[in-house]
Amino acid sequence: MTNEALQQAACFVLAVTVSTVLALAQPAPQGAASRAEGALPTGPLSLPECIRIALEHNPDVAGAVASVQAANAHLGEVRSADFPALDLTAGAERGRALSTGEIGGAPTQTSADGTISLQYLLFDGGERAARIAAAADAQRATALQRDSIVEALALRVTERYYGLLAAQWAREVAEVTRRSAEYHVDLARARHAAGLVPRSDVLRAETELADAALGVVQARSASRITEGELATAMGVPVTTVVRVESGPETALAQRREGVEAMLALAERARPELQASRALEEAARAAVREAKAQWWPRVSSGADYAWRDDSLLEARDSWSLGVRLTLPLFTGFERGARLERTTAERRQAEAAYQVLLRDVELEVWSSYAQVDEAEEAIQATAALVASAEESARLAEGEYKSGTGSIIGLIDAQTALSSARLRQVAARLALHTAMARLDRAVGRSLIASAASAGEKLGGTR
């Protein structure tokens, strides 16, 4: 090979090397930019719409999705061990010796070389397969944990949604109470002007009105607070104005089965339990991987090398081979690793049992809370009906002069209290059913979407 040809080869190798380094130095391309927060839909929002907005904007979801992406990438890294490794090494150099005994100095030398190497692991006692299985189980656990985070977010949005509805109901009760108090003030003043009641009746009625006005202020404040809580759960700024729609009351209890069936359903369907089982399988795979350390490793390899310089003729070489490696002593590392992975497997098994007991208690408690809320709905309905009749009679008695202002105010206070307790019972029933669905592993996202379709669909 001539000097000119060698120089061209050296320049080519150098250009390839520089371009490769520059390519590796470039930052990895980023994913598509996250969707900018859009304005909320106009008009009152349904529960499915609130959950959809939360899935789009809440950072908990983005973090969970990123965790799954990282787990997928890690699984791809581990699975790369199933493929052979192919390496290319190339280089070129030009130079000469500075001090020689030759007259005129040593000649300039230019050389280029390249090597292609192929390596593949043939046998490792199952270590590679166990490592891949552990990574796959860990990836599955991460995906299930993402589902758990998403469903927990849906439950939080559901609770805040009905909390805002309840705050609006309570505000309506406060407004009705204030209007009744204003009517009582007018009634007392009219009767006092007619000389039928003393001035103290007017003062008591005005006190009732002031207390009712304070109740309206407190109800408005509670509504603003719960509105901010819902906005935060949805992942939008706390200052966002959120209005929710109130659908018709549904027979929620019709969706329930026996508590034993719900306990069995939770064991099968809860993503947390499935994730814990996946982590348990990953721990068992780690034990298999540790046991494989005692087996020999058999690998194969093939190489092809080429070299050319200005003084010697171009030459190439190749080789094929199989290599056996048997670790004889590793400083007791293998035994310690097996002991650690075995303990971690027992720890994962115990963690599953602890979580299972917690889930069973959660189902049991949620089921009891639904029963309590259903009975409270019936009891408060009767309470409100009785209080309304009592207030009507007290007002009639006061107008006719057979009743006192104290009896009228007490009856109105009892009616307001009964209505607020009915609001609390309605809120408790909705939240208890949502918690029960979450406890047994039903998807609140699917349930909300199905309810939206039955109510006419979402916008």
- Residues written for the chain: 459
The H or E element that residue 359 is part of is helix 333-400
User: Tokens 């996202």 label which residue?
Assistant: 445
Whether the Cβ atoms of residue 359 and residue 267 lie closer than 8 Å to each other: yes
Tokens of 59: 């950072």
Whether the Cβ atoms of residue 176 and residue 387 lie closer than 8 Å to each other: no
Model confidence, pTM? 0.80
**Which pLDDT belongs to residue 80?**
94
Question: Residues 32, 36, 37, 43: what is their CA dihedral angle, to the nearest 10 degrees?
Answer: -100
**Which pLDDT belongs to residue 42?**
75
Q: What is the pLDDT of residues 275-301, one digit of tens each?
A: 999 999 999 999 999 999 999 999 999
Whether the Cβ atoms of residue 184 and residue 197 lie closer than 8 Å to each other: no
**Which pLDDT belongs to residue 255?**
52
What DSSP designation does 244 have? B
pLDDT < 50: residue spans in the chain: 1-38, 251, 253-254, 451-459
Q: Domains for the chain: give ranges and CATH numbers.
A: 43-84+127-294+338-450 (1.20.1600.10)
Whether the Cβ atoms of residue 307 and residue 369 lie closer than 8 Å to each other: no
Cα gap 55→407, rounded to integer Å: 52
- What DSSP string describes 16-47? HHHHHHHHHHSPPPP-PPPPPPPPPPSSPBPH
- First-to-last alpha carbon distance for the chain, in angstroms, is 76
Q: What is the pLDDT of residues 337-396, one digit of tens each?
A: 999 999 999 999 999 999 999 999 999 999 999 999 999 999 999 999 999 999 999 999
Buried b (16+ CB within 10 A) or exposed e, 216-250: eeebeebbeebbbbbbbbbbbeeebebebeeeeee
Q: What is the pLDDT of residues 43-75, one digit of tens each?
A: 899 999 999 999 999 999 999 999 999 999 999
Any idea what the Cα angle at residue 319 is, between residues 316 and 323, rounded to 5°?
155
